[in-house]
């Protein structure tokens, strides 16, 4: 655990306003992979559906406090963060987060609520090497607040679909965030997910998106596999439920490449 403790915290937002593209799976799996490499990792669930929280074995119904209290009531994140069996810490969400979007809409500084919460956590002495932000499937206040807190954004993309327009909108939002709230935000690239390497179609879609928007493509693609659907049911990521699976190894390889940036 100690080898990387001195480095600066890197905050990565995993965002795409399209649902079902493996944002949450990517956050859980990359988090577990980074933890395997000895990094201290915090995952932040910013989706009111709380899928990340569920998938790490925590029932949101059992939680008194969640990320909603941190973002809208100023509760210190340190009072809400929980350790998980997957070797990462989690700032969990509950359905109450659905109200945060409306609560924050009229608040000064709403774009900065995630950044401020993370800064306060660091100032309180809790150090992480990585903070991964699991964004909701929209480009609303919570996603903008995540992008404002982030050093980089990673865009999971399901290559079967021709969702080019969605990518353009997301990049427009990134540009706005860069202009108004977070000059340093970088797009780290698209991550091909639910990838079916047997078809040329997936590769063609990917090449097209990368060229159209001049985006880097992170390698390797994450293969489509039923194993991914099974892992959340037992509250662990695929890295522990199917340790030697090629899907787990793909996320390990992506995590290793992120640490090289
Ligand atoms: N590589 C994969 N192969 C097969 N199914 C996957 C893969 N990655 C994610 N899934 C499944 O796809 C669904 C959507 O994934 P999720 O991570 O919740 O997406 P999002 O957070 O973008 O909505 C989930 O049921 C998940 O288990
Ligand atoms: Mg999700």
Nearest CA to ligand 1 atom 13: 20
Rounded-to-integer distance, Cα 213 and Cα 167, Å? 8
User: Which mutation among 27, 157, 228 tests ligand 1's pocket best, with the greatest number of atoms within 8 A of CB?
Assistant: 228
Answer yes or no: is 261 within a domain.
Answer: no
Helix 113-123 / helix 141-149 crossing angle, nearest 10 deg: 40
- Long-range pairs of 224-233 with CB within 8 A, sequence gap ≥ 24: 224/194, 224/195, 224/196, 228/22, 228/25, 231/28, 231/55, 232/25, 232/28, 232/51, 232/54, 232/55
Pair of tokens at residue 144: 């903008």
Query: Domain range for residue 219?
Result: 2-256
pLDDT of the chain, 261 residues: tens digit per residue: 444 445 799 999 999 999 999 999 999 999 999 999 999 999 999 999 999 999 999 999 999 999 999 999 999 999 999 999 889 999 999 999 999 988 999 999 999 999 999 999 999 999 999 999 999 999 999 999 999 999 999 999 988 766 677 899 999 999 999 999 999 999 999 999 999 878 888 888 888 888 888 999 999 999 999 999 888 888 889 888 888 899 999 999 999 999 998
User: Which mutation among 20, 45, 49, 236 tests ligand 1's pocket best, with the greatest number of atoms within 8 A of CB?
Assistant: 20
Give residue 232's pLDDT.
82
Answer yes or no: is 54 within a domain.
Answer: yes
Answer yes or no: is 173 within a domain.
Answer: yes
Q: How far is the CA of 148 from the centre of ligand 1 (A)?
A: 25
| Statement: the pTM of the whole predicted model exceeds 0.85 | yes
Instruction: Please tell me the total count of domains within the chain.
Output: 1
Answer yes or no: is 119 within a domain.
Answer: yes
User: Closest-lying ligand to the alpha carbon of 193?
Assistant: 1
Q: Which atom of ligand 1 is nearest to the CA of 19?
A: 23
Task: Let me know: does 52 contact 27? Beta carbons within 8 Å.
Answer: yes
Give residue 163's pLDDT.
60
Q: How far is the CA of 146 from the centre of ligand 1 (A)?
A: 21
Model confidence over 123-159: pLDDT tens digits?
999 999 999 999 999 999 999 999 999 999 999 998 8
Answer yes or no: is 204 within a domain.
Answer: yes
DSSP state of 13: E
Answer yes or no: is 21 within a domain.
Answer: yes
User: Which mutation among 19, 25, 197 tests ligand 1's pocket best, with the greatest number of atoms within 8 A of CB?
Assistant: 25
CATH number for position 85: 3.40.50.300
User: Closest-lying ligand to the alpha carbon of 19?
Assistant: 1
Answer yes or no: is 110 within a domain.
Answer: yes
């Amino acid at each position: 655990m100690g080898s990387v403790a001195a480095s600066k915290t890197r905050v990565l937002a995993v965002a795409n306003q399209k649902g079902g593209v493996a944002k949450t799976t990517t956050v859980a799996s990359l988090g577990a992979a980074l933890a395997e490499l000895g990094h201290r990792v915090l995952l932040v669930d910013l989706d009111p559906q709380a899928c990340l929280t569920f998938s790490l074995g925590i029932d949101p119904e059992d939680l008194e406090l969640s990320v909603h209290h941190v973002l809208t009531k100023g509760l210190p994140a340190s009072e809400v963060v929980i350790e998980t069996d997957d070797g990462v810490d989690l700032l969990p969400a509950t359905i109450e987060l659905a109200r945060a979007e409306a609560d924050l809409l009229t608040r000064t500084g709403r774009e900065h609520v995630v950044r401020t919460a993370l800064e306060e956590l660091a100032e309180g002495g809790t150090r992480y090497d990585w903070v991964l932000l699991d964004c909701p499937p929209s480009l609303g206040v919570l996603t903008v607040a995540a992008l404002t807190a982030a050093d980089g954004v990673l865009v999971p993309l399901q290559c079967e679909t021709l969702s080019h327009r969605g990518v353009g909108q997301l990049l427009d939002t990134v540009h706005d965030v860069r202009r108004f709230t977070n000059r340093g935000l970088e797009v780290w690239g698209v991550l091909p997910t639910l990838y079916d390497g047997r078809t040329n179609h997936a590769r063609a879609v990917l090449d097209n998106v990368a060229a159209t928007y001049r985006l880097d493509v992170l390698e390797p693609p994450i293969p489509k596999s039923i194993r991914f659907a099974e892992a959340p049911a037992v509250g662990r990521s695929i890295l522990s439920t199917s340790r030697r699976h090629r899907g787990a190894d793909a996320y390990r390889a992506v995590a290793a490449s992120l640490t090289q940036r």
